[in-house]
Every structure is written in C-alpha cells, then in structure tokens.
Amino acid sequence: MKQKTIVYANTIDFDQPLQQRPHHLMKYFSENGYMVYWVNYTQRTDKVRDRISDTLEVYHSWEVFLKRHPKIDIYFSSWAMRHTDLESIKADLVVYDSLDNFPENEHEEDNMINKADILLAASKPLLELRSKQHKNVHLVRNACFKELGDLDYPIPEDLIPYTKKNKPIVLFSGALTSNWCDLLLTEKVAKKYQVFVVGLPWGIKEMPKGVHYLGSKGYQELQAYYRHADVTLLPFQRCQISDFSNPLKVYESLAHGTPVVATDIPEMDDYKDVVFVSINHKEFIKNIQKAIKVSNCSEYKIKAKEMAKNNSWDDRFEIINSAIKEFFKGEKDEKGSTLNNTIL
C-alpha cells in the first residue's frame, strides 16, 4: 500500500503535556508508512505549522490546512462533534475511534457513525453497542508502551516527604469528577491511607477530605508516580459513562508492576488476575490492603508487567492498520470488478 495521508483534527493539542490515546496512535501511523497531519484544537494565526518529522506535521489552523490539503486519504476522529469537519474536507476513508458513551452526545454519535467507514470501539460494551449501529466495528482497547516497565523513573520530588512517613503511597491519576468517580469512596480511603491525586479535577469545587492534590502532570512525569506508588485506584461509580470505559491508567500502572484496585466496571473482568476488583466500598478498602501486600512481590510484578506487555500500542495499531488495509483492498477489488464488467 502506497503512503496514505491521514489527518487527526480539532480535538486536542499535539503539544499538551499529558499525551493521550490519539498521540500514541498517530505516532505509530507516522512511523509505519503514513503521512500524518495533526490539526490542533487551539487555533492560531501567528503560526502555520510545526514539522515534527518527515511524516508528522502539526497545523495550527483548520482553514489553512484545508487550503493546502482539501483532499485526504484518511480522516481519523475520536470526537463525535467533529463530524462537521467532513462537510469541508474530502476523505476516501473515515475512521471513528469511539472512546466513550456520554448520554448527552447520542445525537452527535449517530451523525459521526453514519459518516464513518470504520468504527473502533475502546471497550467490549462499546463494541456490542456500536456493532448494532455499524457493520465494520473493531475492538481496540487502550494500551501502554511495552518498554514502560523497563525504564528508570526517579521518585517525584513532591512525593519524597511522604515516603519518609513509612506509609503506603495510594494514587489516583486523571480527571477526578463527580460525573463518574465515587468521591465518597475516595474520601473513605483517604481516612485510612495517604491518597494522592495527580491530574485535573473536573466539575468539583474541592478535593475530597484528606486527599493530597499534587496538580496536573505531563506524560513522562506521570509514569514516575505510577512507578513509585504502592497502589493505584480506580474508584469509579457504576454508571453509563464508566460502564463503557476502558481506563488507560490501568495498563500504565500495571506496566510498572503497581497493583490496581478498581470498582467492578465491566472492562475489569478480563484483568482479575492482576486487578483487585471490588463490588462495594467495604471490599474496595479491604482490597487496598491486599494490594499493598503484593506491591513488593516479584511474582505479582512479573505477572502485572506481562499483562501490560500483552496489551501494547503495537498490537492496537496493528488492528487498526489491518482494518485500513482491508478497506482499501476492498475498494481496489471493487473498482477492478467494475472495470472488468465494463470491458465485458
């Protein structure tokens, strides 16, 4: 397959400190035969583009990008609201990466799904849902980089004073929000353990009582917190949002051999060998103590790291790449069949 052009546009900024799933996937596209264009959500007029590599360019204006590239091979999106982009750009293939199921976004989801040629689903519940809405859906869960567990990360400076207390470091990373996090459970845990939050609080006026907030961290910084935590937490409520989610933080924590304690959202079913899954508050708090006991166990760490390596971005990219190749092969075969019929 000759080099294809692919654009990821108007959703998040390329240079934001905390890299996410789209950053990881576009990195793989750029390193595996694709020309990648990333259009930042933050629009600027003082700068046109940044050339990251020979196969990755970042544009700061959607309008400028459209003037230079009105036609693209692949339009890739992970935000349903961006279906409107397809009114202004021509693409041979539209890939929609469905990451969640927010009830208020259902109309926009329908619009994007109807325009997509390939759908990716980030969890099994999403796969089941999207398969009822589209005929070409692929399960592509979140993942981690295989090498994370082999790299050295020094202990973050703001954790050092707490390590001197000889108490376990219990970590929550990401968006702490009342929309899908169980704040009461988090507060209960903080009464018994040192709980630290790194990330951005969302829609809450203050942290739960007893929680130490250490601010937002960049991607590489965050890995150091996973490495030096004794336990990481996934205190999700059971609701439509969390039940369709596949938390990336689970894979990254396990990559460092750090045990995870989680509520019983559906996606944790496949990881019960290394994740302490809890059906209620009481069991969740008990599981933290169990997780602390294995946090320095070499047998557990080996098992956790192996689980993480078996869920790598390499593998996820291959699923997507195969689906894209299959699509264009089908297009080519269809054109060839049409030509033969015309000749005959």
- 28 in helix, strand or coil? helix
Q: Which structural domain range is residue 30 located in? A: 4-143+312-343
C-beta atoms surrounding 344 within 10 Å: 5
- Domain containing 259 — which CATH number? 3.40.50.2000
**How many domains are there within the chain?**
2
- 260 in helix, strand or coil? strand
**Residues 182, 323 within the same domain:** no
Q: Report the pLDDT value the prediction gives residue 202, as an integer from 0 to 100.
A: 82
Helix (H) or strand (E) holding 263: strand 260-263
Taking the C-alpha atoms of residue 321 and residue 36, their distance in angstroms, rounded to an integer, is 14
**Residues 303, 164 within the same domain:** yes
Q: Report the pLDDT value the prediction gives residue 169, as an integer from 0 to 100.
A: 97
pLDDT at residue 333 above 80? no
- For residue 226, what are its two tokens? 């996973």
Kindly report, residue by residue over 229-258, the tens digit of the pLDDT. 999 999 999 999 999 999 999 999 999 999
Q: pTM of the full predicted structure?
A: 0.93
Kindly report, residue by residue over 72-84, the tens digit of the pLDDT. 999 999 999 999 9
More confident call, 243 vs 203? 243
pLDDT at residue 222 above 90? yes
C-beta atoms surrounding 168 within 10 Å: 19
- For residue 218, what are its two tokens? 């960049």
Q: Report the pLDDT value the prediction gives residue 92, as an integer from 0 to 100.
A: 98
**Residues 124, 201 within the same domain:** no
- Report the pLDDT averaged over residues 262-279: 98
**Residues 303, 320 within the same domain:** no
- For residue 208, what are its two tokens? 């739960």
- Report the pLDDT averaged over residues 90-107: 96
Q: Report the pLDDT value the prediction gives residue 98, as an integer from 0 to 100.
A: 98
**Residues 277, 288 within the same domain:** yes
Taking the C-alpha atoms of residue 83 and residue 89, their distance in angstroms, rounded to an integer, is 11
**Residues 44, 162 within the same domain:** no
**Residues 179, 221 within the same domain:** yes
**Residues 279, 150 within the same domain:** yes
**Residues 223, 286 within the same domain:** yes
CB contact set of 311 (below 8 Å; sequence gap of 6+):
141, 142, 143, 144, 251
- For residue 215, what are its two tokens? 């601010």
**Residues 155, 282 within the same domain:** yes
**Residues 11, 131 within the same domain:** yes
